[in-house]
Amino acid sequence: MNRRDMAWGGALAAFAVAAGTLGSTSALADATGEVLQAIEEFRKAMVDGNGARLLELSSDDMSFGHAGGVVQTKVGFVKTVVDKEEVFHSIKLYDHNIKVSGDLAIARHTFDANIFYQGKDQDFLLNVVQVWRKEDGRWRLFLRQAFKLPT
């Protein structure tokens, strides 16, 4: 093998790495977009009080943590929404940061909401971290934890 053959081999290897990187970057962008869409669908289902949709978007093993320390299961959280113990009048989510790794995604955002909770309307401004897991080809919420913003 001469220098020219080695140069061609190196160029081909570099191209293959670049092509693989571009392909995985595109797949990563697609997965990130899918997670963002699932987050939006979950937000909308909360505001609509759509228990069936919340169940579809939640993993059976979901853990839903509130900023006040209450932690609910999938069924427990959906029940509070369906029974109107919590009524989400409005929810705005912003400052999204999503990292996808295989079938898991960590999503962080700011949660700005007006909610009927504990017998009165309340405004909440919280940070939220979520873990989404791809199950049967669909992203489902596996873990959600809200926490108060630092003062």
- Give the C-alpha separation, 56 to 78, whole Å: 11
**pLDDT over threshold 80, residue 128:** yes
Confidence tier at 24 by pLDDT (50, 70, 90)? low
**Predicted pLDDT of residue 10:** 42
**Predicted pLDDT of residue 68:** 93
Give the chain's mean pLDDT. Answer: 87
Bridge partner residues of 120 (DSSP):
117
Structure tokens, 80: 């509070």
| Lowest-confidence segment of 23-32, 40-49, 76-85, 103-112 by average pLDDT | 23-32
Q: What is the pLDDT of residues 34-68, one digit of tens each?
A: 999 999 999 999 999 999 999 999 999 999 999 99
Structure tokens, 50: 């759509």
Cα torsion angle, 117, 123, 126, 128, sign: positive
Query: What average pLDDT score do residues 123-138 get?
Result: 97
What residue segments make up the domains of the chain, in order of their start?
A: 3-148
**Predicted pLDDT of residue 29:** 79
* CATH class as words, domain 3-148: alpha beta
Contacts of 146 (CB under 8 A, 6+ apart): 65, 66, 67, 111, 126, 127, 128
**Predicted pLDDT of residue 118:** 86
**pLDDT over threshold 90, residue 1:** no
**pLDDT over threshold 60, residue 22:** no
Written in H, E and C, the secondary structure of the chain is: CCHHHHHHHHHHHHHHHHHHHHHHHHHHHHHHHHHHHHHHHHHHHHHHCCHHHHHHHEEEEEEEECCCCCEEEHHHHHHHHHCCCEEEEEEEEEEEEEEEECCEEEEEEEEEEEEEECCEEEEEEEEEEEEEEEECCEEEEEEEEEEECCC
